[in-house]
Structure 1
Amino acid sequence: MEDSEPNATHSDHSRSSPATTLDLSQLPPIFVLATHLSISEQHEAEDALSNGKAPLTYDIKEANLVLGNITRPRRARSELQWKGVHLEDIGEEESRRPTRTSSSTSNNRTPANKRRRLAEQGSHRTQRPGLVTVDESSAASDTEDEDILEAEPMSQLSLSHDPASPSEASTNGEESEELAQQFHTKDFANKVKVVKLEWLHVSLKLGRIQDLEPYTVYEARLRPSQERATKILPAIKAVAREPTSVINKSPYIKEGVLQGIMERAYADPKPSYNRYKRQDRIKEAAKPDIVGKRFSSTTQATSRLSRPVTRPTQLLHQTTSEHDEAVSSVLPPLPDWVKENKVYACERATPLNSPNNDFINELKKIKLARLLTLDEIGVRAYSTSIASLAAYPYRIQSTREILALPGCDQKIASLFHEYNSTGRLQAVEDLEADPALKVLREFYEIWGVGAKTAREFYYDKGWRDLDDIVEYGWKSLSRVQQIGLKYYDEFLLKIPRSEVESITATITRHAKLVTDSNVETIIVGGYRRGKFESGDVDVILSHRDEAMTYNLVDRVVKSLEKEGCITHTLTLNLTNSKRDQQPLPVNTATIGGHGFDTLDKALVVWQDPNWPTKEADLAANPKAKNPNPHRRVDIIISPWRTVGCAIAGWTSGTTFQRDLRRYAKNKLGWKFDSSGVRERGTGRWVDLEGWTDKKTRCTDWKEAERKVFKGMGLVYREPWDRCTG
């Protein structure tokens, strides 16, 4: 087949468009969905339709027929809704009503009823052992009809008429008549169908339009209020010209308005961008409307979202009399840390339950949105404000109380004023209604996926749910992400305190097996702060003999794996052992680890190997599944010389331990790390726990932690007073 001249609309690509003898002009307005298609595949499909004189549209709201690489009805519906198409579900009987078919389908040329799995077709979807994702609402769509011809890539299909099958051929007139029956206008009036792209592949291969029914994924009725391409548009006066001959003439565009539509198209200014140019969706997403310290207002016409993320902060209105009132007559007695304007969370007590939890929870939702939009400054600002509000011991009644708190500014006061007046925050409602943020939150909850990776999944990969990641990106995931996706639902389950204690007892038993009975085990994290349920289990192991803590984590993990308690070891770091268990140097350019912690540790997946009916279950079925949920467990090793720093860091809430580092840096000129403290100027180790003198060595880990606070000039805070979040 010889290449034809490049299409006028594609001249900027300077590539030839394949020719076809199929007459597709009788199709309804058709749109090619880019989801799960490469740019070249999308262009090839559009070229084939254009060369067949199909009424191709680049606005999905004008289309009655949508071609795409989608197999699930629920996903097809979501794609249409995400692109602004308003739908109404069709009744089951109506959706099953067969479309008028051509004479070719009436000659018993229907696809076979036999089904087969995608994997048997050589699909790119990979089934992994132990990973089961079933969509009960569309389970049947996970298989494909075994048609006459398997689907092939567009580039491998001949777009010309197959001369080897004269019985399959038809004249243009006959084909047009058949199409007029199959694609009758009434069948598509105010409706939209999502059809597999395979339909186009097979039609081009056989040189004959195939029946849509076996390839239809989803069908819905368009809302009457939606403006469609078939709706009669008001006539617009334009420069008089002879009626233009339109090649892609469709019966779905009314004759009386055809010229008006074309005149409007000629009158519109030509777009300055190239629709074939691949845009960086991550950069597009990083626009001021969803990224940055401020969210967009409703007047931003360039917003990518259907609604503004938040509304502008309202200014507070205060009367003169409010300012004339004595502060003491309105505000309760201010805590000392408020009067002294102590900005560091480590300088004040923050209990687990605050009288302002309802308002704080709303601010946490905005903070999460800031995190998902990569607004690091906004995340830190909201974290500081939330920690200050959580430490305030009274129920806030006035915006003046907000403005008096360190770390709380006019914005927080305005949000409180709105919440106190209405019982809600419009900003939070806008965020929760945004479809992009809903998906980003779901991706962010995968263990091993951060905010940046979640945005890459959504904007760069085009994935919209967990099934997309499994089907189209499983092999590209890291091992940690694969495990996080495999046990997604189980990892979201909270762990009660009794189970945390049981897991710790097992770890302690194995630690003593590989060392001796003098090993110390400390449960840290949310459990030690008093939470009734935890997201994971954090355990620190230590020993007064440093030789016992050297590479201890490796030995403990191997022992637990032999018993079957650990099903997966995701990371195992020996960073501290590699530097001879010394505190982290001031210059960390060549040292592994980051954040507040560089200790030896293992992040593992835990499953209790025992359950009450284990013996009976295994007797009935040797492959019986363990019903116990998988848990996330962190095993941390600390040498005794700095065990107080390790416990202080791993016990405290995120903002509390962040401010421990900030306080040490700004107030003392030190570098605080869970492996120890050093002077920034000289790099000298600061022995806060009295290790160098045997007379002053700590007798237990509780004493060591208290000495860390005392050595830094801070009042010791109990674990349940460090709940900053």
Structure 2
Amino acid sequence: MSTRSRFLSRNVSSQNEMTDSRSSAANLHHHEPSRARNLDWSQLPPVYVLAAHLSINEQHDVEDVLSSGGAPLTYDVKEANLVLGNISKKRRAKSELQWKGVRMEDINSEDGLHASRSSPASGDSKQTKKRRRLANARDGRGQQALEVFDSSTASETEEDQVDIKPMSQLSLSRVSTLSTVDSSSTIEFKELSPPRLTPEAFANKVKVVKLDWLNDSLSAGTLQNLEPYTIYEARLLPAVEAAVKSLPVVKSVGTKPDSVINKSLHMKEGGIRDIMERANADPKPAVNRYNKRDRIKYAAKQDIVGKSFSSSTQAANRRHTQSVTRPTRLLHQTTSEYDEAVSRALPPPPDWVKGNKIYACERATPLDSPNKDFIAKLKKIRLARLLTLDEIGVRAYSTSIASIAAYPYPIQSTREILALPGCDQKIAYLFHEYQTTDHLLAVDDFEADSALKVLREFYEIWGVGAKTAREFYYDKGWRDLDDIVEHGWKSLSRVQQIGLKYYDEFLLKIPRSEVESITATITDHAKLVTDSDVETIIVGGYRRGKSESGDVDVILSHRNEAMTYNLVDRVVKSLEKEIWITHTLTLNLTNTKRNQQPLPISTATLGRHGFDTLDKALVVWQDPNWPTKKADLAMNPKAKNPNPHRRVDIIISPWRTVGCAVAGWTSGTTYQRDLRRYAKYRKGWKFDSSGVRERGTGRWVDLEGWTDERTRCKSWQEAERKVFEGMGLVYQEPWNRCTG
């Protein structure tokens, strides 16, 4: 089933229950401390609270209740024998532990699991799906209401959609009403045998228990039996042996007995012991593992421990917490690499390599690189750095990738890598690894990492960045798109809701023919609201020569400045009228509001905007026509349009700076970045798609000759070339700006 189909099959009415539950859960700590202290939680084994389907405040409230009663709370799930969670399915419980790196195996004995068959309100009976229409589900532009499934009648086959109680039911604040217990949703405490909480019951085991157990224990004033609430039980497996073996022990006269020798891998005898003793004598910050922590930062840091795609800073920080140490990466070079014969075999370096030109805008970067396979692997490492919020690493890898992509020969030696501007020993090592093994360990780690798989899926939602994706995963505890729809739909922005609704369709690539068809329609409507002299330029990946594009970027301009004033609003309204545009996500009139003047009001405004300040609209596009439309509507008046939804950006540029707009929106991401860096450090200017300004005075720099009618550009192609010329750069054709 596609993601869109799954989306349409979700019952978002449960969001009302989840929203109402937040208020009761928020007051939990006002009601529970005194009662929690009356219960002795100290007999419990190490307890871990799952973040799934709990806000960070709700999780902290549960942890407060446990810690106030003396429970041995832990923030490392690998140390826990008892895991509490707001989940109800064995499969989800097992997945949560696997995601967090717990090594275990299922217990198949008859008395091992009592999970959902004996758990209260387990909902094992198979129920049929009941479709209903979401009331008032039309957006501001009259969109069709969504068809969704009612979660109250959802099938048991849909994971985690049944038997998860809203927090209004799970709230611990209900302990104030002890007189009655609903037998349909809870257990009669008097019929339960005393809980089995002896150490033997948890030896080398981990149990995942519903949060209901904690609520019912508080309600009854005594710890309840765990078995009816247990949804998963597993046998813990020993940790993987350390990669670094302990050094041989050299015994000498007068050594201590083995029984009192420290069992650390390295603290044995002789000089090694002396070194470690001195290191242990150094002051260390006191860390209490039971103190509250920033769950997002802590969990995110733990996720990258031991992973080869992490940054050097992260690697340095993890040396004190990691017991498994990989060997130091050394670049092995043989003397043959320096032989004269080998040197003669290498191709002559390009001029930009000889001149050490560090900016991508100073060299040609073709669409197809002879080193594209190696570049593809580097891009995966860069994505890993992006998802772990390593901004420095992302920029460094982008620079290296752009440099390698511009190199016109297949790379044969690490010497070639080290000679490229922006490539260092790290990239040379990666190439050596790739050259000898045909793969990269960092890429293998990235593709196998369960957390990054989920983060990548979230990151691909239109309107969700890397930081937001991490909040979804670590703060909200969401693990797939269904979790977002079921538990967080109302918390999403409108752009994110649209991005999730059309998730699968937005991932589809757009062929060049369709890009041209969409542009032709936009041009027709632009001429309709202006005149036939309007100029339409397709930019982005299409102009760089890509066979398929992720979205469509179109610039509209006119030699008469009055025609571009508020043009984007007029064009969008015309397209909406004929239902080419189904959603308008953003509509910016920044340039119109400043009367289309490139000169900022003051120098204080410099640097306070992003890529540009042009008028633009980000819209969702769908062709309203399809071949069998008449026949389909005749059979079913509510037949849906099968054409995929597309992302389209419509940008408006005044003619005086159209060259800057075309140069900025055409070039690859790193090329755009280096255009701005080059203008800043070489010229003292600020470049963006709305024009060029002096950083010291804020004065507009007229690179395109607009102020003199004799030098005014006759075409946008001429204007773009003048921008390169004015910046002192050699003009590069669009297909030579593919930096990746």
- Residue 685 of structure 1 aligns to a residue in which SS? coil
Aligned to 2:280: none
2 CA distance for matches of 1:171 and 1:284?
36
What's the CA shift string for 1:474-509, capped at 9, x where partnerless? Answer: 333222122222222221111111111111111111
1 CA distance for matches of 2:315 and 2:698?
46
Q: State the 1:194 CA deviation.
A: 3.6
Match of 1:35 among 27, 48, 52: 52
Q: Which has the higher contact order (CA 8 A, sep 6+)?
A: 2
TM-score by length of 1: 0.76
Residue identity in the other structure for 1:673: D
**Which of the two has higher C-alpha Rg?**
1
Aligned to 1:513: 528
Question: Contact 1:295–1:311 at 8 Å: present in 2 too?
Answer: no
Q: State the 1:702 CA deviation.
A: 1.5
Aligned counterparts, 1:227-626, within 5 A:
272-273=287-288, 275-279=290-294, 281-282=296-297, 285=300, 293-296=312-315, 300-302=319-321, 312-319=328-335, 322-323=337-338, 325=340, 329-583=344-598, 585=600, 589-590=604-605, 594-626=609-641
Aligned to 2:35: 17
What's the CA shift string for 1:600-646, capped at 9, x where partnerless? Answer: 10111111112222222222222222222211110000111111111
Aligned to 1:673: 688
Aligned counterparts, 1:117-128, within 5 A:
none
Aligned to 1:649: 664
Question: Contact 1:566–1:605 at 8 Å: present in 2 too?
Answer: yes
Aligned to 2:163: 144
Question: Contact 1:20–1:48 at 8 Å: present in 2 too?
Answer: no
1 CA distance for matches of 2:468 and 2:367?
31
Could you say if the C-alpha distance between residues 589 and 387 of structure 1 is closer, same or farther in structure 2, counting changes exceeding 3 Å? same
Question: Contact 1:17–1:44 at 8 Å: present in 2 too?
Answer: no
Residue identity in the other structure for 1:645: C
Question: Contact 2:127–2:156 at 8 Å: present in 1 too?
Answer: no
Could you say if the C-alpha distance between residues 329 and 137 of structure 1 is closer, same or farther in structure 2, counting changes exceeding 3 Å? farther
TM-score by length of 2: 0.75
Question: Contact 1:296–1:311 at 8 Å: present in 2 too?
Answer: no
2 CA distance for matches of 1:499 and 1:94?
61
What's the CA shift string for 1:97-134, capped at 9, x where partnerless? Answer: 899979xx9xxx998969799999xxxxxx99538699
Could you say if the C-alpha distance between residues 278 and 710 of structure 1 is closer, same or farther in structure 2, counting changes exceeding 3 Å? closer
- Residue 169 of structure 2 aligns to a residue in which SS? coil
Stretches of structure 1 that go unaligned for 5 or more consecutive residues are 1-10, 121-126, 228-235, 239-269
2 CA distance for matches of 1:608 and 1:472?
32
2 CA distance for matches of 1:353 and 1:169?
66
2 CA distance for matches of 1:89 and 1:164?
33
Q: State the 1:362 CA deviation.
A: 1.3
Could you say if the C-alpha distance between residues 354 and 112 of structure 1 is closer, same or farther in structure 2, counting changes exceeding 3 Å? closer
Could you say if the C-alpha distance between residues 590 and 184 of structure 1 is closer, same or farther in structure 2, counting changes exceeding 3 Å? closer
Aligned counterparts, 1:36-75, within 5 A:
36-37=53-54, 60=77, 66-75=83-92
Match of 1:79 among 96, 109, 133: 96
Question: Contact 2:88–2:116 at 8 Å: present in 1 too?
Answer: no
Could you say if the C-alpha distance between residues 225 and 382 of structure 1 is closer, same or farther in structure 2, counting changes exceeding 3 Å? closer
1 CA distance for matches of 2:85 and 2:515?
48
Q: State the 1:144 CA deviation.
A: 3.5
Could you say if the C-alpha distance between residues 709 and 447 of structure 1 is closer, same or farther in structure 2, counting changes exceeding 3 Å? same
Matching of residue 222 in structure 1 with residue 241 in structure 2: no
Match of 1:688 among 698, 703, 708: 703
Q: State the 1:472 CA deviation.
A: 3.2
2 CA distance for matches of 1:685 and 1:714?
19
2 CA distance for matches of 1:207 and 1:347?
74
- Residue 692 of structure 2 aligns to a residue in which SS? strand
Q: State the 1:43 CA deviation.
A: 7.1
Residue identity in the other structure for 1:197: L
Match of 1:713 among 713, 728, 731: 728
Question: Contact 2:88–2:122 at 8 Å: present in 1 too?
Answer: no
Residue identity in the other structure for 1:154: L
Identity of aligned residues (%): 69
1 CA distance for matches of 2:414 and 2:378?
15
Question: Contact 1:72–1:142 at 8 Å: present in 2 too?
Answer: no
Matching of residue 198 in structure 1 with residue 206 in structure 2: no
2 CA distance for matches of 1:567 and 1:36?
33
Could you say if the C-alpha distance between residues 576 and 283 of structure 1 is closer, same or farther in structure 2, counting changes exceeding 3 Å? farther
Query: Which stretch shifts more, 36-45 or 358-367?
Result: 36-45
1 CA distance for matches of 2:64 and 2:130?
27
Aligned to 1:157: 175
2 CA distance for matches of 1:132 and 1:55?
43
Question: Contact 2:41–2:66 at 8 Å: present in 1 too?
Answer: yes
Query: Considering only aligned residues, what root-mean-square deviation do their CA atoms show, in Å?
Result: 4.8
Question: Contact 1:495–1:536 at 8 Å: present in 2 too?
Answer: yes
Residue identity in the other structure for 2:50: L
- Residue 142 of structure 1 aligns to a residue in which SS? coil
Aligned to 1:176: 193
Question: Contact 1:348–1:391 at 8 Å: present in 2 too?
Answer: yes
Residue identity in the other structure for 1:222: R
Q: State the 1:409 CA deviation.
A: 1.8
1 CA distance for matches of 2:299 and 2:226?
36
- Residue 193 of structure 2 aligns to a residue in which SS? helix
1 CA distance for matches of 2:292 and 2:726?
60
Residue identity in the other structure for 2:211: L
Could you say if the C-alpha distance between residues 186 and 551 of structure 1 is closer, same or farther in structure 2, counting changes exceeding 3 Å? same
What's the CA shift string for 1:450-490, capped at 9, x where partnerless? Answer: 22222333333333332333333333322212222222222
Query: Which stretch shifts more, 595-604 or 370-379?
Result: 370-379
Question: Contact 1:601–1:634 at 8 Å: present in 2 too?
Answer: yes
Question: Contact 1:99–1:213 at 8 Å: present in 2 too?
Answer: no
Question: Contact 1:447–1:480 at 8 Å: present in 2 too?
Answer: yes
Could you say if the C-alpha distance between residues 72 and 635 of structure 1 is closer, same or farther in structure 2, counting changes exceeding 3 Å? farther
- Residue 567 of structure 1 aligns to a residue in which SS? strand
- Residue 363 of structure 1 aligns to a residue in which SS? helix
Query: Which stretch shifts more, 714-723 or 679-688?
Result: 679-688
2 CA distance for matches of 1:184 and 1:553?
71
Question: Contact 2:52–2:476 at 8 Å: present in 1 too?
Answer: no
Could you say if the C-alpha distance between residues 567 and 333 of structure 1 is closer, same or farther in structure 2, counting changes exceeding 3 Å? same
Question: Contact 2:599–2:700 at 8 Å: present in 1 too?
Answer: no
1 CA distance for matches of 2:68 and 2:698?
72
What's the CA shift string for 1:411-462, capped at 9, x where partnerless? Answer: 2112111111111112222233333322222222121122222233333333
Q: State the 1:392 CA deviation.
A: 0.8
- Residue 17 of structure 1 aligns to a residue in which SS? helix
Residue identity in the other structure for 1:77: K
Could you say if the C-alpha distance between residues 317 and 97 of structure 1 is closer, same or farther in structure 2, counting changes exceeding 3 Å? same
